Structure 1
Amino acid sequence: MKNRTEFLEELARVFDQQAEAEALLEAIGFPRGERPNWEGFRTAALYWGQVLREIENGRIDGHGPEALAVAAHRQYRGNAIFRRAAEEVPEPLPDAQVRVTPREGGRAAETPEEWPTLTFRGSEHYEEFVRLARQVIGPDTQLLYTGAEEAALYVPGGLDEARLGRLRREVADLGLGENVEVLFEVYPFQPHLFEQLRLVGPDQQVFYAENVPNTTPVRDIPHAVLFQYGEETRQDRFGRARRTVVDRVVPGATPQDPPQEQRLDPDLTLQQAGVREGDELHIRPESTAGAINPRLRRAALARVRNEIRDYERANPGFEIVYTDDEFLPTCYEVQFRAAGFEPPREQAADPADLRPVPRDVHKALIVLYDLFPIKAPAVMFTTPIFHPNVEPRGTDSRPMGWVCIGALGDDAYRTDLDFHVLCALIMDIAAYRNYGALPHGFLDAHGFLNSEAALWAVSEQGQEMIVRRGGRPLLPMIGIEETPPPKPIRIRGAHAPRPGDAAGTGR
């Protein structure tokens, strides 16, 4: 083991209770009668030092310290030190003469399809519970994890009502606490603890939840976060519990791709919902009609103010020229420089023949309506602009200059929208570094707010003008590179002709 000292220190830190230590040793088949006496050591570090020495000296037939590393990693999969130690172990480990359990160091048993699990909750006295459970149920009962006032045991073969009832009565007789619960559930996955999850509240305040069971229902996550706020956040104006949603942040497919968000089903467990160690979960009020919580709205308005002002300070070509309030604005007019275009002076039968007029200075409004941050803000250009994603004339539902941005759409909008990003996006739109027009065959130009601008932008003349002004070429922007003609392919020796070739066998 390369980092024996580091591994030993982490064992002593994590497995610092006798019940946990005994369960780990049982998982690797360390004979009970030959284990060091926990009570004989002043610290957990001294105890684990002796355990490692005995394992290294051959106390477990066919196993060395690698079995301990694998077993510790299986109980704490998010622990980086245990993971590094386990990664040093060759696969598969040799068989060992140990009890057939899902957590032992050998490969004597396949991973169970079902995990009958006994959970003790509501008291820190889980060591007494573990001992009692083994007396009532049997010695094969194994500790899955322990956390703050909670422990879970794997019960091979399940548990009948009679033994469960007896266990509950004896736990009550021990007087371990008024709020103690003894629960039994069969899970289709292995229960374990997430070492840490990052939780983001409605006002973007960040919390770190530690030792969270993966069996926790998604619906329980908002309670832990909203409890940190006042009643006005947890309840609506009628005193009812506020409905919330939980979104999991999913990294992009590549480092260049922005992260996405996945709405989680409240009726699933964290494990079933796809949550993994270290994930970031966003807790938000459910979008409904009606008044927004004043505290959340004030916090959101303050965040937007700070982010837009930060962007102004960091970008000399960007300036806030008007706000409707000194402290918490709901309307910003911004002015910035970008090499864009305003509408052409003359019309043309073919949009490709249009000649938009270059424009370098632009103004736009950012409006935060009454239901912000539940509802998306609006962006409108107040200076002339010729762009596929900007309303050219105005309609009953959209004013002239209204901008269609994916991040503000009903499906894509998130209440934690970063206004640094939004300001940069507005500038990119004006400079044709971001435009949604697609070449013929991808999307009808009528799907854009300004179909003339869309047709012009994808034309050869339009692309030439855009690139000359510093805009982005269309095809690379949407991930399409110029490609050679398709090559012939072979499937089991048969040659597939290219489109247009004469039919034949290809031989």
Structure 2
Amino acid sequence: MRQELARDLAAIFDTEEPAREFLREAGYPASRIPPFTSNARAFWLNVVGELERGIMANGPEAVVRTALSWYPDNDLLAKWLAELTGGAAETPQDTPTTAGSATATEAGPRLEDSGPCFVLYAITSDQHSAFVDAVRAVAGPEAELLYTTPHVSAVRIPDPGQRADQMVAAVQQELSQRGSNATVNYERHPFRPYLIASLVVQGPDGQPYELRAVPASTLVSDIPFAVLSQYDDEAVRNRRGEFPRTVVDVVGADGQTRRLDPNQTLHEAGVRDGDAMQVAAQATAGSTQRWQQWVERASAQIEAYARRHDEFDIVKTNSRELPTQFTIRITTTGFALPEDADPYRPEPVEVGQHEVLIALDREFPREAPLVLWQSPVFHPNIARLPGPLPKGAVCLGALMDAYRPDLDFAELCGMLVDIAGYRNYEVLDPDEEGEGYFDRQAARWARSAAGQDAIEAIGGRRVHELARETADQERVPMPLTVRAWGVQG
């Protein structure tokens, strides 16, 4: 067994830091983890030999169980568990005693696997232990390492509620003090994040690439970015230095393809370990330019965002076949004025829900969609009273100067949630610069000491925090390990 198990573990954990973090999570004594001096196969031969000699209770089984919690779709690991237990393989969801429980018990109580999963990611970092320590220092000892890759660490935390932004900032500061420049991100998933051991993806020219240790929470749209980054820029970028628009398909054993939604995660798209995929340039002539297809794209992106975010619900649409109007309910704490508010010295009160209309007219996508706040609201960038634009009109970011015809509606939906919760608002002084506001009273209140304290109390962001952000900040794609298919190392 030693040779075969070492071979299979080396094929999955073939780099040093993820292999060492995995063993710690499995309960392997940290002081006894051998050096990674030669190659992955030699490392794992040493480890499996120690497991067979009893370095930890039920060693081989515990290690394989932990590996299955990281890679639950891996058939090879499932077969190993069946062989080691003398029965059918169990998935991590079948049993509460996944192998990682040894480490979790030492650190604190283990989080329940039911319900949504709240995760902090360290992006572009191999300092996994420092990240886990920083998260536990901020979020509590029950924070649980889900997996590591050469570029990413994922740690599950208790529900942060409205403190997610503050928690990200605190962990980021902890990492900076430890000498790490990793980027910390927060995500809420309806599933327990895991890794896909291997995907083979054909580039636009047919060249196959293997993606190793791919987080199942990776957006489909990140796959083309990873693959096209392997080409010379001159071969794939246009004159403006942009990657071409692409589509991603899963290729079945019979050669039939299934088009994937770029706004879904690989888990949501049903991508499994070992799947074959292909990236191709999106056709741009003829029908793909028609208004109907732009509306279908926007609708799919709004629906995908709603599936992933409980605070964002589609209450109704004007059509089941081709909706152009979406009534949205956003559940987050914000502010509105009471009916008896002093018109000269308004004092807002907290509200817990917001209703917003998103409308796509015949000028879309040449012009931005119309977004109207339909519930009472008090916000610098929302028209509280009718004027040049209708009551409830939103003036900010992707709906104004930053609008692009290829707007990702997931970005728009996230912006509306942040607007509702005062995590996004104009930071210019309304008495000095005077532009960018639809409600000057709300702008003055938001910048006042009382307003800033009230905003912070509901989990919003202070003016100085928003001012530090760059206007062109973009989402960082998930960093993936890519190599030409068949290349070892």
TM-score range, shorter chain: 0.3 to 0.5
TM, length-normalised to structure 1: 0.45
Q: Which has the larger radius of gyration?
A: 1
